[in-house]
A and B are shown apart, each in its own frame.
Chain A
């Protein structure tokens, strides 16, 4: 256990269940306390879970191409709910088709995410970044 709690889930009406399972096992293996909300998770559910568990970060996954729509406003709602400056991460297949990822990344960073990941990102990559951001390494 590294003493850090992360809340994760697949946002919106997205039912892709496999990636989030793998992601949650990987984070647990790396010593995180994981609160896995599973699939079809609303913004409110991410926030409520993060408040109650005093989470150190929120990881959003989106596979079905509607990530941009589903994630809009999450940062503002976090601020409103008192989760000030909580690190937000997002990954999966964030948009439909093969849009240039730099453009996609820019969109999500502007929305208030701390980091956004392209399709096929390994859990290890995420673990390394988040560990760094949370001051573990």
Chain B
């Protein structure tokens, strides 16, 4: 029996054919996503290529994920930046959304305009613990109701006023649903209910809005957001491998997923801030190999004083040429041994370096009157066993291990709690999203395929 896993990406529609008996990927193919005409056209083109590789096969089941049409664009709104605003953005991010911006405190008129300009698909509205602050979320509901855009709102704040918040939003003709508070008690994080509400709205509303209704009818299970599929793939893999970190360097963003508790490994460290979820995802919109190349180069040169292949005038001019080429043609892949290939590799390493650093917990030393004390914010990843590289820039590089070394803790910056001695794995065929989909119907099969397909470096 064969299963077909489809990923309607923002640029490419990717298909993977899976042989269930052998637990193997028997073919993969891709074609441009055709959201302007009919998304099924791109799928058919990819299928033609797949059939060219493996012949005509009948698929017993078809499963799909989608990030077409810009993915699931969300805005998170909370009260205190370090508390409910952070809880809301964490919840949205782990539901596979692209959180364009997080807002805190009472929304201003300027921020209303900003949300109008972002034009999100969904808004996650939190604020106040249960029985806690009511004013902020009520104020923000009214402000959101006034914005003349067709988004839905998930209400995940102080339960005492959830119904009033809903009423205010409905008055502004917004579709809204109530779920459990993302922070019911001070400093606790409850994201399951919000996550489920986001998934449901994605199926109810977003599939249609992104022109996926007809494609959805061809599938044997509901279409889910691609990052959510990758997330679930990573979760299944961690059940057999232990603590893992997945780094996906893409054209527009670099996504990092960690599956581990992240509690301090050292004993004399106390945790500060919001508790971290076991399964965590972060998205870096300024670190990408093509669409966000300019910001990546800028951050790498300024923050890291990175020097690309000598700093003489000649190579600088070449770097500018490379950037212009990537801007003109985002599908450009340089010859690895060429100077442009070296730029690509160095920049990919930088993206891994910075994205993993931002995902990792930080150790701060405070000097009290009685000597040093250590605080940890975020997740301690020092004990993570495997770092898995995903994404074209890593998998097509002749030296992926060198790129992934950037995910390892720097001995000169021990306060950044990156993995210390991880093994490196490579996802050669980009199977994470596909495995997330498969795991929804057969977890064991997904685990087996992972073990057959991931290559240790």
> Which of A's residues lie within 8 Å of B, judged by CB?
5, 12-13, 15, 33, 35, 40, 48-49, 51-54, 64, 66
Contact = CB atoms under 8 A, between A and B. Distances in A.
A17 to B, nearest CB: 11
A54 B270 CA distance: 26
A64 B129 CA distance: 32
A40 B133 contact: no
B186 interface: yes
B186 A52 contact: yes
Interface residues of B, number: 21
Contact residues of B: prevailing secondary structure? loop
A13 B368 contact: yes
A64 B186 CA distance: 26
Interface string B76-87: 000110111000
Contacts of B79: 51-52
Contacts of A51: 79-80, 133
B373 A48 contact: no
B86 to A, nearest CB: 11
Residue of A15, A52, A53 with most chain B CB atoms under a 10 A cut-off: A52
B368 A52 contact: no
16 contacts: A5-B132, A13-B366, A13-B373, A40-B373, A48-B80, A48-B82, A49-B186, A51-B79, A52-B79, A52-B129, A52-B133, A53-B129, A53-B133, A53-B186, A54-B132, A64-B370
B120 to A, nearest CB: 24
Nearest to B369: A66
Given A12-B368, A53-B133, 17 more contacts: A5-B132, A13-B366, A15-B373, A40-B373, A48-B82, A51-B133, A52-B79, A52-B83, A52-B133, A52-B183, A53-B128, A53-B129, A53-B131, A53-B132, A54-B131, A64-B370, A66-B369
Residue of B83, B84, B128, B186 with most chain A CB atoms under a 10 A cut-off: B186
A108 to B, nearest CB: 19
Contacts of B132: 5, 52-54
B134 interface: yes
A13 B270 contact: no
A48 B368 CA distance: 22
